[in-house]
Amino acid sequence: MRTMEPTEEILLVAYRTMRTIRSFEEKLVELVTRGKLGGFLHTYIGEEAVAAGVCANLSDDDHVASTHRGHGHCIAKGVDVRGMMAELFGAGSGICKGRGGSMHIADLGRGMLGANGIVGAGIPLATGAALTAKLKKTGGVGVAFFGDGASNQGAFHESLNMAANWKLPAVYVCENNGWGEFTPTEFVVPVADIAERARSYAMHSLIADGMDFFDVYAKSGAAIARARRGEGPTLLECKTYRFAGHYVGDTLVYRNKLEADHWINHRDPLQIFTSRVVGDRLLAVEDLQRIDREVADRIEEAVSAAEAAPLPDPGDLLEDVYVQR
Ligand SMILES: Cc1ncc(C[n+]2csc(CCOP(=O)(O)OP(=O)(O)O)c2C)c(N)n1
């Protein structure tokens, strides 16, 4: 596999993306704790390098489908954080006019087909986008993000079978964080690596260190380039970990604290990225600190705007609703 070295510009965007995901979600947790925000939230903290690494290889013409843990994918695909924050507050200025909330954020202009409350349901959507790209010869790719738990769903197997058979320009990114809700992956998955499942469909597969932006960027870049060349889909398994519970409020009684401490203290994707870029003199510490400040300001501003934004007009309730008579 050809190793792709990210440029300085890509590294700056990657750091901004990962820092934005982290700060956006830390702010959400704070807002929930202070009783300012309601609804069900699943955080992506710990998994930032996967979304940032994959999306660094994509443009607005490529489509991604996301999950219930979707804030990171949206941010990495370029969805506006102000619109996302307003959406979480249910405001009319939200990216989906306040009708979607955390688990249904979509922005077709950015190629974000949507977060998804149904486990595995984004996989056929990305497959459909890949089929469209192939038929219309757009040169685009369809990328599905999903968890290890979703790889047990029928939609996963049906999609991979079809994509492999039709050589679709698709990339299936499994974020294996070791857990599906409160169940360890090995309890419900008989294969050692989810990537092995590709063999059933004669599909190419790769495994990446999901905590390392550089590894995800190189391996997803190779898979995406392969798809664009018309050589068919790839199942890319990224080994990762969610630092917090399954949802905000999860007390984590089922998880071994030593396991979590190991990942949080030694495998933090932001720390791994920072040590590499500073150690190898690829970026300056001052650049990273400037980005930290800019991101913090942007998020504070997004919260203030969302808090001040009016709720949707009840008179618009039936707009954007489709009914088959
Ligand atoms: C079809 C369906 N079944 C069950 C659920 C309940 N549920 C929500 S998240 C989740 C776990 C999914 O695990 P995984 O795919 O590994 O993603 P992770 O939460 O680890 O990111 C389950 C079972 C659901 N939302 N949809």
Domain boundaries, the chain: 8-311
Query: Burial level of 208, CB count in 10 A (0-12/13-18/19+)?
Result: buried
What gap in Å lies between CA 102 and CA 208, rounded to an integer?
27
What gap in Å lies between CA 243 and CA 245, rounded to an integer?
7
What gap in Å lies between CA 211 and CA 49, rounded to an integer?
6
Query: Does 27 score more than 60 pLDDT?
Result: yes
Q: Evaluate whether 243 touches 182 at the Cβ level (below 8 Å).
A: no
Q: Does any ligand 1 atom lie closer than 6 A to the CB of residue 70? A: no
Distance from the alpha carbon of residue 43 to the mean position of ligand 1, in angstroms: 13
| 11 Cβ contact partners less than 8 Å away, ≥ 6 residues apart | 277, 282, 283
| 32 Cβ contact partners less than 8 Å away, ≥ 6 residues apart | 38, 41, 248, 249
**DSSP string over 183-238:** EEHHHH--SSSGGGGGGGGT-EEEEEETT-HHHHHHHHHHHHHHHHTT---EEEEE
Q: Does any ligand 1 atom lie closer than 6 A to the CB of residue 72? A: no
What gap in Å lies between CA 13 and CA 256, rounded to an integer?
34
What gap in Å lies between CA 269 and CA 261, rounded to an integer?
14
Of 181, 187, 241, 254, the residue with max ligand 1 atoms within 8 A of its CB, to mutate for a pocket test, comes to 181
Position 324 scores a pLDDT of 74
Distance from the alpha carbon of residue 183 to the mean position of ligand 1, in angstroms: 10
Distance from the alpha carbon of residue 123 to the mean position of ligand 1, in angstroms: 13
Position 320 scores a pLDDT of 85
Q: Does any ligand 1 atom lie closer than 6 A to the CB of residue 237? A: no
Among protein residues, the one whose CA lies closest to atom 25 of ligand 1: 118
Q: Does any ligand 1 atom lie closer than 6 A to the CB of residue 308? A: no
Query: Does 58 score more than 90 pLDDT?
Result: yes
H or E element that contains 172: strand 170-176
Average pLDDT, the chain: 97
Q: Does any ligand 1 atom lie closer than 6 A to the CB of residue 176? A: no
Q: What is the mean pLDDT of residues 21-34?
A: 97
Residue type, 79: V
* CATH architecture, range 8-311: 3-Layer(aba) Sandwich (3.40)
231 φψ region: left (φ > 0), alpha (ψ -120 to 50), beta (else): alpha
Distance from the alpha carbon of residue 117 to the mean position of ligand 1, in angstroms: 8
Specify the pTM: 0.97
Q: What is the mean pLDDT of residues 17-39?
A: 97
Q: Does any ligand 1 atom lie closer than 6 A to the CB of residue 179? A: yes
Distance from the alpha carbon of residue 50 to the mean position of ligand 1, in angstroms: 18
Q: Does any ligand 1 atom lie closer than 6 A to the CB of residue 46? A: no
Among protein residues, the one whose CA lies closest to atom 20 of ligand 1: 180
Distance from the alpha carbon of residue 244 to the mean position of ligand 1, in angstroms: 15
Residue 212, both tokens: 């390392």
Position 323 scores a pLDDT of 78
Query: Shortest CA distance to 128 belongs to which of 117, 150, 149, 144?
Result: 144
Query: Shortest CA distance to 23 belongs to which of 89, 104, 81, 79?
Result: 81
Query: Shortest CA distance to 19 belongs to which of 41, 43, 45?
Result: 45
Q: What is the mean pLDDT of residues 282-305?
A: 98
Distance from the alpha carbon of residue 271 to the mean position of ligand 1, in angstroms: 28
Confidence of residue 32 (pLDDT cuts 50, 70, 90): very high
Confidence of residue 2 (pLDDT cuts 50, 70, 90): low
